[in-house]
Amino acid sequence: MNTGKVTGVISNLIFIEAHGAVTQNEICLIHTENKRLMAEVIRITGTQVSAQLFETSMTIKMGSLVDFTGRMLEVELGPGILSKKYDGLQNDLTKMSGLFIDMGQTTPPLDSDVYYSFTPLIKAGETLHAGDWLGSVKENWIDHKIMVPFVLKGTYTVESITKKGDYLINDVMAVLSSEKGEKIEVTMVQKWPVKRAISTFRQKIRPNKILQTGLRVIDTLNPIAEGGTGYIPGPFGTGKTVLQQAIAKNSKADILIMVACGERANEVVEIFTEFPKLTDPDTGRTLDEKTTIICNTSNMPVAAREASVYVGMTLAEYYRAMGLKVLILADSTSRWAQALREMSNRMEELPGPDAFPVELPATIANFYSRAGLTELNNGAWGSVTFIGTVSPAGGNFKEPVTESTSKVARCFYALSQKRADAKRYPAIDPIASYSKYLDYPEFVENTDTSIQKGWVAKVKKCKDLIRNGLEARDQISILGDDAVPVEYHVVFWKSEMIDFALIQQDSFDDVDMNTSLERQQYMFNKLMEIGDMEFHFSEFEEVGTFFKQIINILKQMNYSPFDSSQFKKHHKELEKALQNMREKTLTEL
């Protein structure tokens, strides 16, 4: 093994004199009195190597021995990933001893002593490629595919395959032979370097189908597609985390990967506490059964923040290769960018805007491009949908992380301070936010059949209604209530109705928190029906009074289970109020 010795320490940047060839991004281990501390090579200048330490550096002595492992940062892939709580380097946090995370402590990511029930999917003699399915095991309730290792290049013939039964993850499930006659034993576990995308699929196509999140402002107004990308920027406290968790709880994804990157420990504790108690609305199983959490909270080693998002993405790609619908959420990608900045500054690199590294836009673009809807070699479909939060400095979107992300993410959920201050949650700005998928013809076509004909056109009409409402509001506040035609008030209040009944959604209410697409469709049509109605009020004060009543009824409907007697009662009230108004309008005309 290649070695070196420590020549300098500045915080978590370690300088090493190497004794042989070193590879960029190689992992090295720094010897301290009784531990080996993990670091990643981030610069090589001749024999001078700089490495970022995934720990604190207080115990490192000058001259300490360094082992270069010859391997990049890798994850272990195999059954047992689901329900796990990993740190940013895929150590299983639950297996760690003690209340505090001792320096240099590592734990195995998978359980070598758990039996999985294996069913072969192929027969001896078949030819296969990397990523092809050899067999399947039950992981929680999910059919976890055991695949031909992704690192294998070329064609392989199956020499033998294990028969149905219970096995440990390190047992040999199949023996493959390469074209050259090399024999390869395949277990349930394989390794993969996190910074490289797993791309054993046949093709990646444009997303065309809605991924339901249960949030009206997303599904109805700004839908995200299976295999799509989205980002949620917003000043602190505007609801990024709550929104992401709401998406996590209600989305119709098969697998959920949550990356807590440089954020609060209590927020992951909340996930740990709640997810085992929550049922997945889609399958009726508990939510933690389909979830893996990767947490590198803000007080955990900064260098591992970057690793954490890549670990998460790699796990997502792994499950996608099994033909599953994976949703990966990262909170917050800005902390990852900041970690890159800290390191770049320490290395005294020439900085880009706001002292971020110049390659930041490329790094972000590369990461988002790993999401996608893929057709596997066997014709099955799998997807990775990625939604990241962004925490812009000073809440100003004109900063490098937000701007770089805007160029690659297809859905934009802008959280507004003003809406959050007014407790209009989720504080998604209805005008600034968008989903580019609404402009994809294949997506439009899909909604025509899966929801209703002309759906997207209606959504766009609704957006116009909101926009007009806000313009009317501006006019009213510039000119005064009396100085504008009463019609302006109607336009404004119609948009308020959309805001209160569609956009706003109480993530802490058991009923309101999740709206099925069927219910969204029903309510949306109802709202647009009112939006299309003509009203004649004699005086502007009447407008507000009427719409407040309507809004109140609509909110009560949102709080009642769909089609329950309560719901029907409020529905009747609504119809009555509308009918009265129609009659009044008629007589006044």
Ligand X SMILES: Nc1ncnc2c1ncn2[C@@H]1O[C@H](COP(=O)(O)OP(=O)(O)OP(=O)(O)O)[C@@H](O)[C@H]1O
Interacting positions 390-409 with ligand X (CB under 6 A): 391
Dist. CA 407–CA 387, nearest whole Å: 14
Nearest to other proteins of 210, 551 (CB atom): 551
Dist. CA 494–CA 209, nearest whole Å: 30
CA distances 329 to 251, 389, 578, Å, are: 11, 8, 42
| Residues 133/147, Cβ–Cβ less than 8 Å | yes
| Residues 140/276, Cβ–Cβ less than 8 Å | no
- Residue 486, token pair as written in the block: 């009463």
Q: Does 338 bind ligand X (CB under 6 A)?
A: no
Dist. CA 490–CA 103, nearest whole Å: 63
Interface residue with ligand X among 238, 344, 435, 558 (CB under 6 A) is 238
Dist. CA 432–CA 221, nearest whole Å: 12
Nearest to ligand X of 420, 574 (CB atom): 420
Nearest to Mg ion of 283, 417 (CB atom): 417
Q: Does 475 bind other proteins (CB under 8 A)?
A: no
Q: Other C-beta atoms within 10 Å of 480: how many?
A: 9
Q: Spell out, one character per residue from 213 to 252, where the chain touches Mg ion: x when CB under 5 A holds, - when not.
A: ---------------------------xx-----------
Per-residue b/e over 88-97, b at no fewer than 16 CB within 10 Å? Answer: bbbbbbeeee
Interface residue with other proteins among 160, 177, 345, 521 (CB under 8 A) is 345
Q: Does 237 bind ligand X (CB under 6 A)?
A: yes
Which of the stretches 123-131, 237-245, 345-353, 550-558 binds ligand X when contact is defined by CB under 6 A?
A: 237-245
Q: Does 508 bind other proteins (CB under 8 A)?
A: yes
45 binds, among ligand X, other proteins, Mg ion, none (CB under 5 to 8 A by kind): none
Nearest to other proteins of 536, 555 (CB atom): 555
Q: Does 295 bind other proteins (CB under 8 A)?
A: yes
Interface residue with other proteins among 29, 44, 65, 96 (CB under 8 A) is 96
| Distance in Å, CB of 91 to Mg ion, minimum | 24
Range 545-574, binding other proteins (CB under 8 A): 548-549, 551-552, 555-556, 559
426 binds, among Mg ion, ligand X, other proteins, none (CB under 5 to 8 A by kind): ligand X
Q: Spell out, one character per residue from 124 to 163, where the chain touches ligand X: x when CB under 6 A holds, - when not.
A: ----------------------------------------
Nearest to ligand X of 100, 508 (CB atom): 508
| Residues 217/502, Cβ–Cβ less than 8 Å | yes
Nearest to ligand X of 244, 374 (CB atom): 244
Nearest to other proteins of 94, 117 (CB atom): 94
Per-residue b/e over 32-50, b at no fewer than 16 CB within 10 Å? Answer: beebebbbbbbebeeeebb
Within its chain, how far is the Cα of 355 from the centroid?
27
Q: Which of 109, 136, 256 is nearest to 194 (CA)?
A: 109
| Distance in Å, CB of 215 to ligand X, minimum | 9
Q: What secondary structure, in 3-state letters, does 31-58 show?
A: ECCCCEEEEEEEEEECCEEEEEECCCCC
Dist. CA 206–CA 159, nearest whole Å: 37
Kindly state the number of chain residues that form the binding site for ligand X, as judged by CB under 6 A: 15
Interface residue with ligand X among 90, 250, 338, 507 (CB under 6 A) is 507
| Distance in Å, CB of 550 to other proteins, minimum | 9
| Residues 566/560, Cβ–Cβ less than 8 Å | yes
CA distances 67 to 47, 71, 164, 179, 359, Å, are: 14, 11, 42, 35, 29
Q: Does 534 bind other proteins (CB under 8 A)?
A: no
Interface residue with other proteins among 391, 402, 435, 514 (CB under 8 A) is 391
Q: Other C-beta atoms within 10 Å of 153: how many?
A: 9
Which of the stretches 46-54, 93-101, 234-242, 366-374 binds ligand X when contact is defined by CB under 6 A?
A: 234-242
| Radius of gyration of the chain, Cα coordinates, nearest whole angstrom | 27
| Residues 241/335, Cβ–Cβ less than 8 Å | no
| Distance in Å, CB of 431 to Mg ion, minimum | 23
Dist. CA 582–CA 562, nearest whole Å: 26
Nearest to ligand X of 375, 506 (CB atom): 506
| Distance in Å, CB of 397 to Mg ion, minimum | 16
Q: Does 338 bind other proteins (CB under 8 A)?
A: yes
Which of the stretches 147-155, 204-212, 485-493, 500-508 binds ligand X when contact is defined by CB under 6 A?
A: 500-508
From start to end of 279-379, where are the E strands? 291-296, 325-331, 372-375
Residues that bind Mg ion in the complex, under the rule CB under 5 A: 240-241
Residues that bind ligand X in the complex, under the rule CB under 6 A: 234, 236-242, 263, 391, 425-426, 506-508
